[in-house]
Structure 1
Amino acid sequence: MGRGRQKAKHTKIARELKSYSPSVNYAALERELGHHEGGEDYVDKWADQYDDEDEDEEQGQYSAV
């Protein structure tokens, strides 16, 4: 018996999502995605916190032999 109420709720949410248009800061998005006009090199700010996966795999292969 609750199917009508559930369908109405989904319809309401779908209409809200359809008309939703968030404001987007395209300049900040472009900077974050890495569009460089000045020729800057990419620097991974998280690289120091994690080990490289390739090094772990190579060590595992040679130690098993």
Structure 2
Amino acid sequence: MGRGRAKAKQTKVARDLKYRTHETDLSALARELHGEADNREAADDADLDKWADYNPRD
């Protein structure tokens, strides 16, 4: 007992995934699969490097 609501939620999510049209960026997928770096990733890495030596206790 008690599984009805969870099963209904899973069914709703499955139907949503099956029937909703998704706009897939195939070029981004190809870049990711081929291991090419994205410009946004490079910017994120630069932001991380900026905070690499941060210590909140100092």
TM-score bracket relative to the smaller structure: 0.3 to 0.5
| TM-score, length of structure 1 as denominator length | 0.38
| TM-score, length of structure 2 as denominator length | 0.40
**Structure number, greater radius of gyration:** 1
